[in-house]
Amino acid sequence: MQASLRTSPRAPLRASLSRPAAATFLAVALAAVGLGPAASPAAAATIPAGSGSYSDTRPAGRSGPTTNTGTPVTPKLTEAARNKPVPTNDWWTSLAYQRYGDNPYSTPMYGHPLTYQAKASGLEVGYPTAPAIVGDGRQYEYAHKADLTVGLTGLNSPDTKADAWSDWTVTPYWADGSRTFRATIGHGMPFVYAKGSGGDARITTASTPTVFADNGNVLGITVAGHHYALFAPTGADWNVSGTTITAGLAGKDYFSLAVLPSTDALATYRKYAFSFVTGSQVAWQSAGGAIRATYTLTTEAKEGTERGTLQALYRHQWLHTTDALTPYTYVSPRGTMKVRESASFTTSQKNNGVVPALPASSGVDRARLTGYLNEVANASDPFSGATDTYWTGKALGRLAQLVPVADQIGQTATRDKLLGLMKGRLQEWFTAGGASEFSYDKDWKTLIGYPASYGSDTELNDHHFHYSYYVYAAAIIAQYDPAWAADPAWGTMIKHLIRDTANQSRTDSAYPFLRGFDVYAGHSWASGHQGFAAGNNQESSSESVNLSAGLVLWGAATGDTSLRDLGSYLLTTESEAITQYWFDANEQVFPASYKYGTVGMVWGSGAAYSTWWTANPEEIHGINVLPVTGGSLHLAREKAAITRNIAEMERENGGPAQEWRDLLWEFEALADPARAKVKWDGVNGNYTPEQGESKAHTYHWISTLDTLGAPDMTVSGDLPTSAVFTKNGTRTYTAHNHGSTTRTVTFSDGKTLSVPARSTATGTGAGNPDPDPEEPGPSTGNTFRLKTGGILTTATTDPASADTVASADGVNRDGTPYKPTVYEAKQVSGQLAAGAATSFRLRVDAGTKVALAPQVRVSYDLTGDGTFDRTETYRYFATDPVAGWEEYTQAVGAQAVTGSLGELRNGTVRLEIWNALGNGTTQVQTGTDAAVLKIPYV
């Protein structure tokens, strides 16, 4: 959860974990938790903020950012960057935050595919491709190991500073009095773009390089099995002497290098060697139930006119793009990265909706729920003694979950009492000068809450975790009392917390753009200093999502659609990152030698089955679930992964959960509500809730899902505060309208729902149970699962299975279906979606057989008259000779397309898969979210 040590509030500390590879760094960090010098007493100025206020000087006796020895520290920035807010909690933050006094350069930084570390002579560059399993088998890592160091002859800088940065790139700066050196690096960038003065370009390799190409100013070398290209200006020439490679710059001040996926890629990479990246920016849009995001690099042509570049996309990105990709790939801790030849790419995903609470259902006993609500509302201390930022937040979150539940069953007095408790505690924190307050640090341009916890003050850790609860609670208050949330009242203070953690402005001089959210990595980082050999880390991805969900609800409640849509972008993006990198839902990310199927913590170098405070499997699994709210529904996209997750927890735990049983029941209910209900009923309320939970909320959650069914993530609404549930083929649609007029919500399966102003509405409709397996029935929605029996279906209740794809019988069948396995959906209607394209995600397995090359064709009969008006044949997929599922998607590119798309009117959609090569059969998975076809229709 936090990027520093904590002890469990509910159980003794379990056996110590083997720490990540950054053991020496971690040991120092843990020793320093909570330490630091007291601030010199000073009269703090109070800054008004609506009805609230904050201070501009730390309260007496409190600490701000420090080194590991407790020395106050300020950002390491060049003069050019001096007044620019630093995005702490990033993948490169150790350039700016000198956590360790004896290291004025940086700790390892994981850009992927390249890794970096600053040193006196320049920038170490590595490309780790072989994972190590460490920490008693709990952690896998692709640790930084330098293949080479790039710099200038004679460079010996006393430190490295951050000179410039953008959304996912950074430029570190070296100067030693005679020489200056800059190197622009970033996520997904195979290039390092260097500029320097006072010396020649110098590359020092870790071992004697093998030269595979020497073309004067272009040199190809292999070091430690990795291929690099070095590019000096035209007219320059590289000289190799042992492990030192130098080149004069022919009167220029620039050069570059790139890691190559193979030696034959040199010509392609040479094309972009002097198209220097100068910035990076993401733009997002929420419309029609979808989130579209475009990632763009800006470039400068140092030679010629080329302004394009190459970008390596992470798995969570290439799964959701229809943009063309090259055949080039890289290894990374996040699975395969795929290369695009362009300065931009766009992703599109269904908007994962957020609701204030699950809808009303007949499965909830109101009398029983009222009793549970009273236990919380009438407790002698509803805040359980909390005084610091984190535990106060947890208590606020627990109360906030219950407000709409109480309102739903007509318990308005209890609702208002809970609202009053929340308002009172928030107002205490939002007023400077008391026992709890927020203080602005002008050096780090951050708002720190005191009393702080888990290094949120001394290390700038976890602000997005802690403040998420305040934002979420305020959003629930705003739903019922808009005046309280207005700027002249308490809204301005909430906006300060939002600007500190999730600022959408790149020009705000008080706070950085998205402090902790790494838009390219797809998730947030927790450590404020990034001072570990393993890079940065994040444990509780779910508390990061809690902030995004809070932004959706706060933006909706206050009429700030821009902020609401930011929350939707952050949540939807991080949801896929969690799915892939924490839960390995498609089993394509974790190394084959790693024995766990989920992790508690993601590091820049890999991931670990651990937490910062305990080895208890319940908490390792539960830490990426809590808090369970209407923002947690996104987890239901991969129901099979939830089932595997729970099974692994029980296996590692030696039995069902005991300490955090309520959280894990709620998690399981997202996939199998009936099974979760059995577990709840078996205990019958005789347990102690997790500190952010309550019996009232857990009972309401499990009973509601048992009645309505699990969330149906194949359908999305065009209002971000909506959701769909499915049970026995019947869908329940729900939406909350925060606006002042009635709103009609349209769902992607065509269902509409009229929602009165400031109200929640629900409705039902038939799903697609496919009662006749021999004849596909009418389909709704635009995402179809493959179902054994030759069916494309929108139903999500079918069991996982697999079909056999026939052999090519030793003949090249590339481009022509041969004995294909066919799946169809009939009576499909829809309007063509602008800018959309066919996409699919299939799991195939050739076992140990070589070169069977499964291939897909998708066809559209627009009117159902038996003639296919459009066919799209995709390139075949090169399977490996290792047993295990591999993922085949449209990202391989289209081989041939005939005909045109148009309106679907009771049409037919067909997917055919066959083996294009070889003499063996393959398997294709069916009945899961990893066996889907998405058509470009709404």
**Residue 490: C-alpha distances to residues 401, 427, 435, 511 (Å):** 20, 8, 18, 19
> Are 185 and 216 spatial neighbours (Cβ–Cβ below 8 Å)?
no
Give residue 798's pLDDT.
73
List of the chain residues with pLDDT < 70: 1-44, 766-781
> Which amino acid is present at 475?
A
Distance CA 203, CA 244 (A): 6
Total-model pTM: 0.81
Give residue 35's pLDDT.
26
Give residue 928's pLDDT.
85
Q: What does residue 389 show for φ and ψ, rounded to 5 degrees?
A: -65, -40
Catalytic residues: 462, 539, 543
> Are 73 and 528 spatial neighbours (Cβ–Cβ below 8 Å)?
no
Distance CA 216, CA 214 (A): 6
| Torsion of the alpha carbons at 662, 665, 670 and 673, rounded to the nearest 10 | -130
What does 303-368 look like in DSSP terms, one character per residue? SSS----EEEEPHHHHTT--S---S-EE--TTS-EEEEESSEEEEEEE-----SSPPP-TTS-HHH
Q: Quick one: tokens of 559?
A: 């009429």
Give residue 44's pLDDT.
55
Q: What percent of the chain has pLDDT over 90?
A: 86
Give residue 626's pLDDT.
97
Distance CA 597, CA 599 (A): 7
Give residue 850's pLDDT.
86
Give residue 210's pLDDT.
98
SS3 content of the chain, % helix, strand, coil (to 5): 25, 30, 50
Give residue 766's pLDDT.
67
Beta bridge partner(s), residue 854? 915
pLDDT tens digits, residue range 526-572? 999 999 999 999 999 999 999 999 999 999 999 999 999 999 999 99
Contacting residues for 852 by C-beta, under 8 A, at least 6 apart: 807, 808, 846, 879, 915, 916, 917, 918, 920, 921, 922
Q: Output the CA angle 420-421-425, nearest 5 degrees.
A: 115
pLDDT tens digits, residue range 285-334? 998 899 999 999 999 999 999 999 999 999 999 999 999 999 999 999 99
